[in-house]
Amino acid sequence: MPTTSSRTPVIDGLVYLSDGDPAPFRAGGVTAANITVTHMFWDLEQTFVGMGEWHRKVDAPNSGWRLVRTADDILVAQDEGTTGLIMGWQSLTPFGTHLERVAAFHALGLRIAQLTYNEASAAGDGCLEERGGGLTRFGRQVIPEMNRVGVGIDLSHCGDRTAFEAARTSDRPVFLTHANAKAVNDRVRNKQDETIRAVADTGGVIGVSIHGFMNWDGDPGHPPTLANFVRHAQHVADLVGVKHVGIGTDFSAVRDESFAQSILDMSKGSYPETGGVFAAAFGNTSAGRYPQETPTPREFPRILEALRDGGFSAAEVDAIGGGNFLRAFRAAWG
């Protein structure tokens, strides 16, 4: 059922890790989040088991979660005071090259998935592939199937050519759930203006990020700041309109930060262009990847405050904070 509340929900476009405790989101006023419910490199069996574990968490008595299958579930979560779990993946590895698995995992709750992580996938090239290839034959097949079934298409880690071609191929909104503008900070994870326009042309949303891999100018003397995050939001808004701007923090949401250490170490060791160079400048801690004022989801209101202080109106902050994702998710999921 739709909400009876007049307040716009707050939606985080990407949280890369959660241990199953919704408390950090509730403390930060976050209504729902796209949470990565698999490891980036899990195979079919590991992913199936991992999603089953999440169902057990959500279904436990008084879990504090609501599984998001439709956009209205986000509004229901807001009304009942639970946290909406949007099940997301950061690669298509569990699909293999089997289109039938799209519908199968949709039935299990999957609602958004990246076509690639940093490397090439069966669907196309990731942002660290120097050859800069675009979509594969499978990529051109899986996008219409994801559209048909209602699994949102995330292009955050794709190379620009892959992302541009995917946006042109999709009949539904596509997403950059956590990516910034190369025009502001020329980092490997950020996207060219042409790509941002292509995403917006689908009705999609760009989740501007506070994360240091994207929210940084490359100078070790300049750590990530909320002011720089606002610069990215302003650039995207000026380029394609406020209605296409969201927030994708790329937070971890855990009680014990050591729970995230394996992923921190992986990104540092496997990806010198992103995690390696950032860790060399600022260390390899979870909190160190974000502005000092916002190390966890509990400080989410400070992100919204920074947007207001940066010149966005109250209505615009509501849209960026969740209204735009809600609209685009409704269109992508059907």
Chain centre to alpha carbon of residue 51? 18
Output the six-digit token pair for 295: 């190390």
The pLDDT of residue 160: 98
Check whether 323 has a pLDDT greater than 60: yes
For 50, counting Cβ atoms within 10 Å of its Cβ (0-12 exposed, 13-18 middle, 19+ buried), the class is middle
Q: What does the mean pLDDT of the chain come to?
A: 97
The pLDDT of residue 257: 81
Check whether 1 has a pLDDT greater than 80: no
Check whether 258 has a pLDDT greater than 90: no
The pLDDT of residue 259: 84
User: Residue 2's pLDDT band (boundaries 50, 70, 90)?
Assistant: very low
| Span 231-239, average pLDDT | 99
What are the tens digits of pLDDT across the range 275-319? 999 999 999 999 999 999 999 999 999 999 999 999 999 999 999
The pLDDT of residue 279: 97
The pLDDT of residue 264: 95
What are the tens digits of pLDDT across the range 102-146? 999 999 999 999 999 999 999 999 999 999 999 999 999 999 999
| Span 70-93, average pLDDT | 98
20 or 2: which leads in pLDDT = 20
Q: Would you list the domain boundaries of the chain?
A: 11-333
What are the tens digits of pLDDT across the range 164-186? 999 999 999 999 999 999 999 99
The pLDDT of residue 267: 94
HSE (side-chain half, CA atoms, 13 Å) at 257: 11
- Max CA separation in the chain (angstroms): 50
Check whether 163 has a pLDDT greater than 50: yes
Output the six-digit token pair for 112: 């958004």
Element of type H or E holding 14: strand 11-18
**Sign of the dihedral defined by the CA atoms of residues 132, 215, 11, 262, in that order:** positive
Strand locations in 77-191 (E) = 83-89, 110-114, 152-154, 174-176
Element of type H or E holding 71: helix 71-80
Segment among 48-52, 236-240, 258-262 with least mean pLDDT? 258-262
Q: What is the DSSP string of 191-232?
A: B-HHHHHHHHHTT-EEEE---TTTS--S-TTS---HHHHHHH
Match domain 11-333 to its CATH number in 3.40.50.2300, 3.40.30.10, 3.20.20.140, 3.40.50.1220.
Answer: 3.20.20.140
The pLDDT of residue 256: 86
User: Residue 4's pLDDT band (boundaries 50, 70, 90)?
Assistant: very low
Nearest CA to 97 out of 66, 51, 60, 136 is that of: 136
What are the C-alpha distances in Å from 141 to residues 118, 209, 331?
A: 21, 30, 20
Contact 175, 166 (CB under 8 A): no
The pLDDT of residue 138: 98
The residue type of 316 is E
CA distance 310 to 231: 8
What are the tens digits of pLDDT across the range 195-229? 999 999 999 999 999 999 999 999 999 999 999 99
User: Residue 58's pLDDT band (boundaries 50, 70, 90)?
Assistant: very high
* 27 CB neighbour count, 10 Å cutoff: 14
